[in-house]
Amino acid sequence: FFFSSVVTAGRAQVRQELSGETTEGVGISINCSHPDVQGTVNIQWYRQFSDQPPHPIVTGFTGNKPVPDPPGRLSVAGDRRSSALWLSRPRRGDAAVYYCAVRD
């Protein structure tokens, strides 16, 4: 099944890969670049299913943080210029659009 991501824009420019694909139970990493992030803004990841609004799944500043649903981990680089959302055991029901954004 497919995982899609889209670029969201705010004060800082954010870049993501446009799509990814995996099979059920096989982990996938969704990467995001936010090279202009400054100050104390957080990196926020959202998930959006068809015909539903985006739902926040994890927020981080630097380092690693567990993600309960879908199970995985958020890793934010020490310089905060990139982040990766690792879905450890994706299920078919996790197929969605994943957004990376910067948030005050």
Per-residue pLDDT of the chain (104 residues; tens, 9 = 90+): 444 454 444 445 666 666 678 888 889 999 988 888 888 889 999 999 988 999 999 999 999 999 999 999 999 999 999 999 999 999 989 988 888 888 76
Q: Which domains does the chain have, with CATH numbers?
A: 24-103 (2.60.40.10)
Number of helical (H) and strand (E) elements in the chain, helices listed first: 0, 10
Is residue 74 classed exposed, middle or buried when 0-12, 13-18 and 19+ CB atoms within 10 A define those classes?
buried
Q: What is the pLDDT of residue 8?
A: 46
| Phi, psi for residue 93 in degrees, rounded to 5 | -70, -5
